[in-house]
Amino acid sequence: MKYNRLGITDLKVSEICLGTMTFGEQNSEKEGHEQLDYATDHGVNFIDTAEMYAVPGRKETAHSTEKIIGSWLAKRKDRDKLVIATKITGPSAGITWIRKPLDFSPASIKTALDGSLKRLQTDYIDLYQLHWPERKANFFGKRSYIHDANDPWVDNIYEVLNTLNDQIKAGKIRHIGISNETPYGMMRYLEESAKNGLPRVASIQNPYSLLNRTFEVGLAEMAIKQKVGLLAYSPLAFGLLSGKYHQKKDQPTDRLNTYKEHMVRYKSEQCYDATDRYLKIAQSHNMSPTQMALAWINTRPFLTSNIIGATTIAQLEENISSTKFEITEEIEKAIEAVQNDIPNPAP
């Protein structure tokens, strides 16, 4: 397992990060613990969650993922060897049961953080992330920015960083990150931290896969030059890039079948056509589609960690094995040919 530096911090995180949003929804506590054991036994030291998980967000399963990780952490004696990341939920009209109000005010940050610490059964969070912006912007499948003159958001980046700094001083947080952000958002956080001596964002967690390379448009250069590395989520496009849907090996319980209304960004004809071509590239180079899709992401110069998710140990094993595969120049050229013909079909 390769380990990369988290931003300009002193933390080293595994190239593969275990995403856990299925814990409490598609995976039981026992299965979650088995995945955590397997991942850490194979070199993964980085675990990502959020206060709103499991996904999709439902009142009945809210906070369940953190609780499952917490019951696992409570049995271990190597907390200092692990990097635990979680997130505070941003504004959303559809999940108000998580916390009221859903914002990044000082009171909300304290409430959310204390709740996560309690559920995770830990004294500190290694990486505390803002799950999505408070302002109206293009994220979660929105390809283009459409300005809303009635957006009530008033720039509070300084206040947010100052509040997070207080929590760092209190020993509850080690480092901070942003998620589902735009170049404007990253710029503002970096600007305020530099100007006021406040904590600097160490990472940005955004979607990135063979079907969604929009990160490369405005954020890749910033990530490299500003040393705010990408934590890539949905690297398999919710399983589409595994090939199981094309090969008719999918099950009714698989994500794209179970949560159709939540995963529309992966349901287009263009997504299926591009995926079909990627599957043929993998097959011609004796790789599974999953291994090729993940191994390709692992080669990106702006990547800090690749967040994989699984519902079975077999899937987890295949995902982690991607670190052993090489993306040759021939494979790279073939992948670029598909991207040129069908660019970013899943925004």
Q: How far is it, in rounded angstroms, from Cα 133 to Cα 114? A: 21
pLDDT value at 345 more than 80: yes
Beta 12-14 vs 3-5: how paired, if at all? antiparallel
The H or E element that residue 4 is part of is strand 3-5
In a domain, 96, yes or no: yes
In a domain, 194, yes or no: yes
Torsions phi, psi for 334 (to 5 deg): -65, -40
In a domain, 275, yes or no: no
Any idea which of 132-136, 163-167, 242-246 has the lowest mean pLDDT?
A: 242-246
Domain that holds residue 226: 3-237+300-311
Mean pLDDT of 242-266: 77
pLDDT value at 266 more than 90: no
Beta 201-207 vs 229-233: how paired, if at all? parallel
In a domain, 280, yes or no: no
Nearest to 25 by CA among 64, 59, 51: 64
In a domain, 98, yes or no: yes
Q: How many domains, in total, are found in the chain? A: 1
The amino acid at 166: D
Torsions phi, psi for 318 (to 5 deg): -65, -40
Task: Say what the pLDDT of residue 262 is.
Answer: 63
Q: How far is it, in rounded angstroms, from Cα 69 to Cα 193? A: 31
Q: What pLDDT, in 10s, does the model give residues 310-334?
A: 999 999 999 999 999 999 999 999 9
Q: How far is it, in rounded angstroms, from Cα 42 to Cα 56? A: 28
164: pLDDT confidence band, cut at 50, 70 and 90?
very high
Positions marked catalytic: 53
Mean pLDDT of 99-107: 96
Q: What six digits make up the tokens of 293?
A: 């899709």
Q: How far apart are the first and last CA of the chain?
A: 30
261: pLDDT confidence band, cut at 50, 70 and 90?
low
236: pLDDT confidence band, cut at 50, 70 and 90?
very high
Task: Say what the pLDDT of residue 185 is.
Answer: 98
Enter the pTM of the model. 0.96
Residues 6+ apart with CB under 8 A from 248: none
- The DSSP secondary-structure symbol of 198 reads P
Nearest to 164 by CA among 80, 53, 62, 88: 88
Cβ neighbour number for residue 2 with a 10 Å cutoff: 11
In a domain, 134, yes or no: yes
263: pLDDT confidence band, cut at 50, 70 and 90?
low
Residue with tokens 């990060």: 17
Q: Is the distance from CB of 329 to CB of 290 less than 8 angstroms? A: no
Q: How far is it, in rounded angstroms, from Cα 345 to Cα 215? A: 13
In a domain, 192, yes or no: yes
What is the C-alpha radius of gyration for the chain, rounded to an integer number of angstroms? 19
Q: For residue 206, what is the domain's CATH number?
A: 3.20.20.100
Q: Is the distance from CB of 290 to CB of 236 less than 8 angstroms? A: yes
In a domain, 120, yes or no: yes
pLDDT value at 253 more than 80: no
DSSP for 116-173, please give it.
HHHHHT-S-EEEEEE-S-SS--S-SS--S----TT------HHHHHHHHHHHHHTTSE
Task: Say what the pLDDT of residue 264 is.
Answer: 74
The amino acid at 44: V
Q: What pLDDT, in 10s, does the model give residues 196-233?
A: 999 999 999 999 999 999 999 999 999 999 999 999 99
Task: Say what the pLDDT of residue 260 is.
Answer: 64
